[in-house]
């Protein structure tokens, strides 16, 4: 086996990085690697060279999700050099669009989030962009709200959402004609080109900086709290619910919203209440992950609660768990929450005489389309991501299966886990006032619309090149069957499909109406597979069992499908 080579280009890249890095922690990290690579021997030397190559042979790519990656030194990591280059490039992009551009910047609890945010504010101000920094660490929905509320041209949120603790990220929004939504193509490519130019031609150490930026006052948060609390119109009666912010920044704002809405104080998962960038009680700070809600379940059982609400660390997602009619606790899937919220919103808006469009991503359950048709609302299907859902004209409700919900699009153009929590509480309170439960409401839905079952399977890869190889193989030689179920047709979205722009997605339609969707993850080394089935035959329980049976068979067959 050949040993990894330490060539002059790699050494030059690492030393150039050292020369401009303002962070002593990453400088020390890189100096130690260089020492091991140049003066070490044997396996230790080889490991250091391989590590340097991983850090400098590639660059963390800026895309529609902005930047996201592991913290550390190097162009393929999140650090102050990369963030400074991103801020300077984004500033150039904004100045190219407007003679007097403006931006608002937010940050969460993650390691270096505040540092990256202040670097961004200083570099924006130094470049002549009017910069506003949010007053403290706050949820992503507050930043998304502030873009529209303050009428600025852009927003940056420093967060890695529900990624592992070692990660951080840089999420970008555009105001004006973009309405405060996250960026989409071609803006991502244009911004990336400006960033690449900065990285190639300028040293971070020479970028002009200024402390002439504004720190926003609490009125931004106050207005967000007031508008979010106003969603609740259900009878306000006591309801015992558990809440956890998953070590993130959701609790302070959620607490104020619950109080303003007149909801009783929740039962708190104390171990997860304080913001903590190490997320010590969970392996992954994502309420979808197995075990993430274990402490919440224990608290709910101990306290006799009726409902669990959990935000992810930046509070743009919401997980819900309920006690079923047999007394057992279960976490609702993102599709179940999205469907039940959609039905409640449809019922309310029909009573109020509102019109508009419901929307969900292509990988979300078809159930929302059935609701929209039945109630006479418009419906739109988008690519994955709220950067697309929030742009649907005349939107009144949108969701995607990854625990993302937008129940108040007149306030914010992104998913919002705090306003979704208020909507979930409203639904639970209304049902409670009528002597009904969420579980019984779910059965009523199946009797009316049929049962929609779904699952999502992620297949992790160690070699990123396996992902495009897998997608190409499935395109060029699509399966005739998945499990025992025949494939009737395949939609290849790579060239666009209907009103959908091009995307690396394959959609397999199966005999009996089931579907399987395959796409690469946008943020992790995974191929994601989404499975849906629907049954309208028999009782509600029979419909559930039939649809779940199809989904279970398809789920068992997914790894073989991806492996080829």
Distance of CA 157 to the CA centre of its chain: 12
Helix (H) or strand (E) holding 535: strand 526-535
**How far is the C-alpha of 23 from the C-alpha of 387, rounded, in Å?**
32
> Is the four-CA dihedral 446, 447, 448, 451 of positive or negative sign?
positive
Neighbouring residues of 429: CB distance < 8 A, sequence distance ≥ 6: 234, 235, 236, 237, 239
3-state DSSP percent of the chain in helix, strand and coil, to 5: 45, 20, 35
CA–CA distance, 291 with 302 (Å, rounded to integer): 17
User: Active site residue: 75, 102, 113, 161, which one?
Assistant: 161
Residue 129 phi, psi (nearest 5): -95, 130
Q: What are phi and psi of 23, to 5 degrees?
A: -100, 115
Cα 194 from chain centroid? 25
Locus of tokens 């160690």: 462
Q: What angle do CA 525, 194, 177 make, to 5 degrees?
A: 90
Residue 82, preceding bond cis, omega within 30 degrees? no
The residue among 61, 147, 131, 146 whose CA lies nearest residue 91 is 131
HSE-CB of 93 using CA atoms within 13 angstroms: 27
Active site residue 458: no
Question: E strands, 122-224, where?
Answer: 130-133, 154-158, 167-174, 181-182, 214-215
Structure tokens at 477: 């030689």
Tell me the two tokens of residue 467: 């992902």
Give the DSSP letter of residue 66.
Answer: B
338 Ramachandran zone, left/alpha/beta (phi>0; psi -120 to 50): alpha
CB 366 within 8 A of CB 401: no
CA distances from 496 to 383, 417, 493 (A): 10, 30, 5
Task: Check: CB of residue 249 under 8 Å from CB of residue 108.
Answer: yes
48-70 burial by CB neighbour count: b if 16+ within 10 A, else e? bbebbbebbeebbebbbbbbbbb
Q: At 380, which helix (H) or strand (E)?
A: strand 378-382
Residue 70: what are its φ and ψ, rounded to 5°?
-75, 145
Contacts of 43 (CB under 8 A, 6+ apart): none
CB 129 within 8 Å of CB 137: no
How far, CA to CA in Å, does 373 sit from each of 358, 363, 369, 377, 533? 10, 19, 6, 6, 18
Torsion of CA 405, 407, 413, 418, to 10 degrees: -70
Active site positions, annotated: 161
């Amino acid at each position: 086996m050949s040993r990894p080579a330490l060539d002059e280009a790699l050494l030059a890249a690492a030393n150039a990085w050292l020369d401009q890095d303002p962070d002593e922690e990453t400088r020390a990290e890189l100096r130690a690697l260089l020492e091991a690579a140049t003066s070490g021997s044997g396996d230790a030397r080889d490991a250091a060279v391989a590590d340097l190559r991983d850090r400098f042979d590639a660059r963390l790519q800026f895309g529609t999700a902005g930047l996201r990656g592991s913290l550390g030194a190097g162009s393929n990591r999140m650090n102050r050099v990369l963030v400074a280059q991103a801020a300077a490039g984004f500033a150039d992009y904004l100045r190219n669009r407007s003679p007097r551009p403006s931006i608002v910047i937010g940050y969460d609890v993650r390691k270096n989030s505040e540092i990256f945010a202040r670097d961004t504010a200083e570099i924006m101000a130094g470049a002549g962009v009017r910069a506003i920094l949010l007053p403290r660490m706050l949820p992503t929905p507050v930043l998304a709200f502030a873009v529209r509320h303050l009428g600025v041209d852009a927003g940056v949120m420093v967060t890695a959402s529900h990624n592992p603790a070692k990660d951080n990220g840089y999420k970008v929004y555009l105001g004006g004609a973009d309405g405060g939504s996250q960026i989409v193509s071609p803006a991502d490519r244009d911004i990336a080109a400006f960033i690449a130019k900065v990285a190639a031609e300028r040293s971070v150490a020479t970028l002009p900086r200024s402390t002439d930026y504004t720190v926003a006052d609490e009125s931004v948060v106050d207005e967000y709290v007031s508008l979010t609390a106003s969603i609740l119109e259900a009878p306000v009666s006591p309801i015992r619910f558990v809440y956890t912010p998953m070590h993130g920044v959701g609790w302070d704002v959620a607490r104020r919203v619950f109080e303003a809405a007149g909801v009783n104080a929740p039962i708190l998962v104390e171990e997860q209440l304080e913001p903590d960038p190490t997320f010590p009680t969970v392996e992954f700070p994502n309420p979808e992950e197995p075990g993430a809600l274990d402490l919440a379940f224990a608290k709910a059982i101990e306290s006799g609660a009726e409902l669990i609400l959990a935000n992810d660390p930046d509070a743009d997602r919401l997980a819900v768990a309920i006690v079923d009619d047999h007394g057992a606790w279960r976490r609702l899937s993102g599709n179940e929450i999205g469907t039940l919220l959609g039905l409640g919103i449809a019922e309310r808006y029909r009573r109020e005489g509102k019109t508009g469009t419901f929307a969900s991503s292509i990988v979300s359950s078809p159930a929302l389309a059935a609701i929209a048709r039945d109630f006479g609302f418009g419906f739109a299907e988008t690519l994955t991501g709220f950067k697309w859902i929030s742009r649907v004209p005349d939107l009144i409700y949108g969701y995607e299966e990854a625990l993302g919900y937008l129940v108040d699009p007149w306030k914010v153009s992104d998913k919002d886990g705090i306003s979704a929590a208020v909507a979930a509480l409203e639904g639970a309170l209304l049902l409670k006032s009528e002597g009904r439960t969420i579980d019984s409401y779910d059965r009523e839905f199946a009797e009316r619309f049929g049962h929609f079952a779904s699952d999502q399977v992620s297949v992790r890869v160690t070699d990123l090149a396996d992902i495009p190889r897998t997608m190409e193989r499935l395109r060029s030689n699509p399966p005739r069957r998945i499990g025992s179920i025949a494939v009737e047709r395949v939609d290849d979205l790579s060239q666009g499909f209907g009103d959908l722009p091009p995307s690396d997605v394959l959609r397999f339609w199966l005999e009996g109406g089931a579907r399987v969707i395959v796409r690469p993850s946008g943020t992790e080394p995974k191929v994601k597979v989404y499975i849906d089935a629907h049954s309208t035959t028999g009782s509600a329980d029979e419909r559930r069992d039939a649809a779940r049976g199809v989904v279970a068979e398809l789920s068992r067959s997914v790894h073989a499908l991806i492996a080829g």
